[in-house]
Amino acid sequence: MDRNTVTGLLLIFVITMAWAWYTMPSEEDLERQRQERALQDSIAAAQADEVDTLEQRTRDAETTEPDRRERLADTEEEAPLTEERRRSMGLFDEASYTDTLQTVIKTPLYEMTLTNLGAGPSKYVLLGHKTWDQQLVQMIGDTTRSAYSLEFLSTQNYNIETDVLLFEPLFDESEIELSMDESIDLAYRYELGNGSSIVFNYTFFADQYAYQLEIELNEMEEVISGTNVEFGWKAPLNLTERDFAQDATNTAAYIYAGGTLEKFQLSEMGRDEMRINGTIDWVSTRTRFFGQYIKPVTGSNAATVMGEITGEPGEKSTLHHYQSFVQSGYTSSPTLTYELYNGPLRYYDLREFHDSAYDVIEIGYALIRWFADPIVRFAIIPFFAFGSMFISNYGILIILFGVVVKLLLFPLTQKSFKSMAAMRELQPQMKEIQEKYKDDPQKQQKETIALYRKAKVNPLGGCLPMLLQFPILITMFFFFQNSMLIRQEPFLWAQDLSAPDYILSLPFSIPFLGDQLAGFVLLMSAAMFLQTKISGGMSGGASSGGPNLKIITYILPVMLLFIFNNFAAGLSLYYLVYNVLSIAQQAVINKQIKTDKPEELEQAKEAAEKKLKKGRKKKKKK
């Protein structure tokens, strides 16, 4: 690894840091956040004295029951049908239906429990996906009522939320099983005493995670104040991964409108919301690998997403709760239609739902998204989809993919490695030129350029090709870190390629590294070290850059160990393969370089040596 290579790496590091600094909040923003946090803390402190015994029992239960970590500690949520709640809804307290009923829908993909308390799903189990402890994924965090709610202001000035209303099921079945290609329509009705009604009509399909909902607002003009209603997902989504902090970090809400994706995510404890006006394509809330979407088919005019974090974001006891709502006008069309999706964040499933639904997956920095997105959609994902038809082991597919990427980048890496090798051959002459003209920088630069020209070596030949590779390498970094393709896929000692493959436990914890070491990361760092030695970074290549450059070449593999240790094993496996292939390529080039351009290099060396000898003779005569 010569001066140009290290310069390129440092340049990329500087650009990354500059971008992070540019997107960092201003002092005014930070001060506003501190003031808001102080206000929230003071409110919380004032309310602490009013916490009753029931709330205390709820908190104690949350501490002892792991399954409830994903639920918001809201007493009102736990007891939606108290007399106080019922009296607060005016006309909507007069509904006569009082029985709570549940219906189970079974398909090859999922098992959904529908409740008439809110007329929607209260439980949603994915049959083909498991949590880190091998339990079936249950997406909905609050199972006491429907995850969906239609909300509006009544003409009696009450805030109406349908997830606390008991609907009448317009069907008799308590359990429904669908085979492939089958579908079913189910309806719930809420009737008011004045003849108005709200009807939820669902259509479920056995072969997809998406389903449809039509909401009929019959004769509701005299009941609903204004011309708009909001429909949204209120329940928290359960976290499913062993690495709680990373799963929580990916938890967020989104609004897609006008061809632009807006991400809403809290970075600290508290509550906040974001609202966008205009025609809405879809809204979503998600965890790392699973999510729900709402796509309004009839007219929409705004969307709101809300979030709450109850503690430090990285703590396991912290709850991450996001909600998403779509606002629509109902006066011109009393029937509101929505397409809904609950399931894994897999490309082909999401593409069927909406072309842009996969945009919630991070596949690169915003500056290179235009480049990364088509590569992921039309090259990487199709490669694994096609390869999985013949090879079921995704570890082997990652190895093959690393080989393919290396072959595609071969022209760039070949030129870069050859330039570095040629530069290394000229290091002795360059060093002598630097020593001879150390007091005359202009002369030193002139002689160095003359040496390059004589040898037909481009000093940027090793740096520019490497820089051109980085958008691809960064895309690979984000894809393997965030893609669901490798979730819970085993390979060798790694039980889950989407999680770190820890093989060594340390008796102490190291900052930024942790108390465990991942296997593929150790191998990747060792390969990086070996590649540096083969490329001359530990000897001649580094010597011209002085001791500081030599130290940097030693530090880079260690930096990679710290950076990648807690990342997905599939990512480290990919870079391991890439580095091993680079080692082989560099070794072959090192043998070939002396025969590729022997005459130019020798002539350049001889010319440089003659000039240096003449300079020495002149010094002796003086």
Residues 78 and 130 in one domain: yes
Last residue of a domain, one of 333, 364, 395: 364
- Using DSSP's 3-state secondary structure scheme, residue 484 falls into helix
Higher pLDDT, 563 or 60: 563
Residue written as tokens 């994706």? 261
State yes or no: pLDDT of 508 exceeds 70: yes
Among candidates 182, 137, 488, 65, which has minimal Cα distance to 290?
Answer: 137
Q: Is residue 617 part of a domain?
A: no
Look at residue 306 and tell me whether its pLDDT is greater than 90. yes
| Phi, psi for residue 149 in degrees, rounded to 5 | -150, 135
From residue 17, alpha-carbon distances to 21, 66, 99, 478, 558 in Å are 6, 39, 59, 17, 19
The reply to whether 98 and 188 lie within a common domain is yes
**pLDDT one-digit tens code per residue, 584-609:** 877 777 776 655 555 555 555 555 55
Q: Are residues 88 and 57 in the same domain?
A: no
Question: Domain count of the chain?
Answer: 3
C-alpha torsion angle, residues 282, 287, 291, 293 (rounded to 10)? -20
Within-domain flag for 372: no
In a domain, 310, yes or no: yes
Clarify whether residues 57 and 72 are in a common domain: no
Residues with Cβ within 8 Å of 53's Cβ and at least 6 positions away in sequence, in order, are none
Tell me, yes or no, whether 184 lies in a domain.
yes
User: Are residues 349 and 309 in contact, defined by beta-carbon separation less than 8 angstroms?
Assistant: no
Check residue 257 and give its pLDDT: 93
Contact call for residues 158 and 147 (beta carbons, < 8 A) = no
Residues 230 and 138 in one domain: yes
Whether 622 maps to a domain, the answer reads no
Give the model's confidence band at 583: pLDDT under 50 very low, under 70 low, under 90 confident, else very high.
confident
**Domain-ending residue, one of 364, 399, 430:** 364
CATH number at residue 300: 2.70.98.90
Question: What's the pLDDT at 480?
Answer: 85
Per residue in 86-134, pLDDT (tens digit) is 446 777 776 667 788 999 999 999 999 999 999 999 999 999 899 998 9
pLDDT of residue 49: 42
Higher pLDDT: 592 or 233? It is 233
Residue 614 lies in a domain: no
| Cβ 457 vs Cβ 422: under 8 Å | yes
Same domain, 170 and 135: yes
**CB-based contacts of 327: which residues, under 8 Å, 6+ apart?**
228, 229, 230, 280, 300, 301, 302, 303, 304
Does residue 613 lie within any of the structural domains? Answer: no
Co-location of 10 and 35 in the same domain? no
Asked whether residue 371 is assigned to any structural domain, the reply reads no
| Predicted pLDDT at 235 | 93
Query: pLDDT (tens digit, 9 = 90+) per residue, 187-211?
Result: 999 998 778 899 999 999 999 999 9
Give the tokens for residue 456: 């037909």
Mean pLDDT of 436-462: 69
Same domain, 120 and 137: yes
**Percentage of residues in the chain having pLDDT higher than 70:** 71
Q: What ranges make up the beta strands (E) of 183-227?
A: 183-191, 197-205, 210-218
Q: If you average pLDDT over residues 613-618, what whole number do you get?
A: 55
* Three-state helix/strand/coil letters over 79-93: CCCCHHHHHCCHHHH
Which range, 7-21, 75-89, 264-278, 475-489, has the best average confidence (pLDDT)?
264-278
261 and 397 fall within a common domain: no
pLDDT above 80 for 181:
yes
The answer to which of 10-14, 182-186, 378-382, 501-505 has the lowest mean pLDDT is 10-14
Host domain of residue 406: 3-15+378-608
- Co-location of 566 and 430 in the same domain: yes
Please indicate, yes or no, whether residues 314 and 456 belong to a single structural domain of this protein: no
Are residue 102 and residue 10 in the same domain, yes or no? no
Structure-derived torsion over alpha carbons of residues 121, 122, 127, 133, reported in degrees to the nearest 10: 150
- Which of 312, 340, 364 corresponds to the end of one domain? 364
Separation of alpha carbons 447 and 469, rounded Å = 31
Task: Count CA atoms closer than 13 A to 51's CA, side-chain side.
Answer: 14
Q: What angle do CA 608, 613, 614 make, to 5 degrees?
A: 100
**What are 555's two structure tokens?**
């530090």
pLDDT score recorded for residue 71: 33
Give the pLDDT mean for 565-569.
87
Q: What is the mean pLDDT of residues 464-469?
A: 60
